[in-house]
Structures are given as C-alpha cells and as structure tokens.
C-alpha cells in the first residue's frame, strides 16, 4: 500500500511538471498572435492546439525536460508521423550545431531520478516563466 501511494505521488509531480513545461515550450515557440510553426513540418497552428514534441522520447528522464530536446509541433508529426524524427534532427542540427543529436543521445541516460524537491523547484520556475511569456506576448 505504502509503495503504491509513493509512486502515485511521484507521478503527480512529474505530471505537473510535464503540463507546465509543455505550456512553457509552446508559448516560447509561439509568436505575438499565439501561433507556432511546427518544428518538423512547418505547419502553422495556434499554440493551444500544438504539442510539446520531444526529440528523444519522453520516457528518458535526462532529456524529458530539456529545452533543446523539446519544441512545439503539430499532432500529425508528434503522433501519427512517429515524432517525425528525421525532420526533427535536421532542424536541431541547423539551430544548435551538427553534434546536438549526439549530445542529446548521451544526455538521455544521465538522469534516472528527480527528487520531489527538484520537481517542485522546476514547477515553480516554469510557472513564473509561463506567466512572463503570456504577459510579454499578450496571450
């Protein structure tokens, strides 16, 4: 019983951070009118309809909350196109340099555990950032 409740609690910290971090990435990538260009296919859509796309899949904690590993994109690329990984890699290399995909591949296994305290710190940090972005962009 105890173990179950501990796992549940952990998940909820992670889920809370997932939600606020996703909001942050999508707002970061949106323009002043609230529109984003899908990082992979270039489709224009409203940030609320966009998704936080991970280059290295979400299950890897070392890159799950990396601002470089995450960009706003469309549901088609994120789900139905299997993350559109080839296009994603092309854009990452253009924006961050040729060795960025190798760096992310190395980073994905560097974190296997995040403490509640660290989760809470990151949640608080991104809450402030989200409010800042909303204010700056008038969204």
Binding site for Zn ion (CB under 5 A): 38, 40-41, 43, 73-74, 77
Given the complex with Zn ion, which of 79 and 96 has the nearer CB atom?
Answer: 79
Residues with Cβ within 8 Å of 139's Cβ and at least 6 positions away in sequence, in order, are 27, 30, 34, 47, 133
Six-digit token pair at 103? Answer: 């760096």
Given the complex with Zn ion, which of 87 and 129 has the nearer CB atom?
Answer: 87
Q: What is the smallest separation between the CB atom of 56 and Zn ion, expressed in angstroms?
A: 18
Q: What is the smallest separation between the CB atom of 135 and Zn ion, expressed in angstroms?
A: 28
Given the complex with Zn ion, which of 10 and 76 has the nearer CB atom?
Answer: 76
Rg over alpha carbons for the chain, rounded to the nearest Å, is 16
β-bridge pairing 35-37 and 51-54: unpaired
Q: What is the smallest separation between the CB atom of 38 and Zn ion, expressed in angstroms?
A: 3
Plot region of 97 (φ>0 → left; ψ -120 to 50 → alpha; else → beta): left
Q: What is the smallest separation between the CB atom of 67 and Zn ion, expressed in angstroms?
A: 19
Residue 67, Cβ density class (10 Å: 0-12 exposed, 13-18 middle, ≥19 buried): exposed
Q: What is the smallest separation between the CB atom of 64 and Zn ion, expressed in angstroms?
A: 21
Residue 110 Cα to chain centre, angstroms: 17
Given the complex with Zn ion, which of 91 and 127 has the nearer CB atom?
Answer: 91
Given the complex with Zn ion, which of 81 and 111 has the nearer CB atom?
Answer: 81
Distance between CA atoms of 109 and 58, rounded to whole angstroms?
Answer: 12
């Amino acid at each position: 019983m105890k173990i179950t409740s501990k796992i549940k609690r952990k998940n909820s910290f992670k889920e809370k951070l997932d939600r606020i971090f996703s909001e942050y990435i999508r707002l970061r990538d949106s323009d002043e009118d609230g529109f984003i260009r899908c990082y992979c296919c270039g489709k224009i859509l409203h940030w609320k309809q966009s998704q936080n796309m991970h280059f290295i899949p979400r299950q890897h904690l070392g890159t799950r909350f990396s601002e470089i590993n995450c960009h706003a994109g469309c549901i088609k690329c994120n789900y139905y196109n299997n993350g559109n990984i080839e296009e994603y890699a092309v854009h990452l290399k253009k924006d961050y340099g040729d060795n960025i995909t190798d760096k992310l591949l190395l980073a994905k296994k560097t974190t296997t555990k995040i403490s509640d305290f660290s989760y809470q710190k990151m949640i608080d940090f991104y809450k402030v950032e989200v409010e800042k972005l909303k204010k700056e962009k008038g969204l």
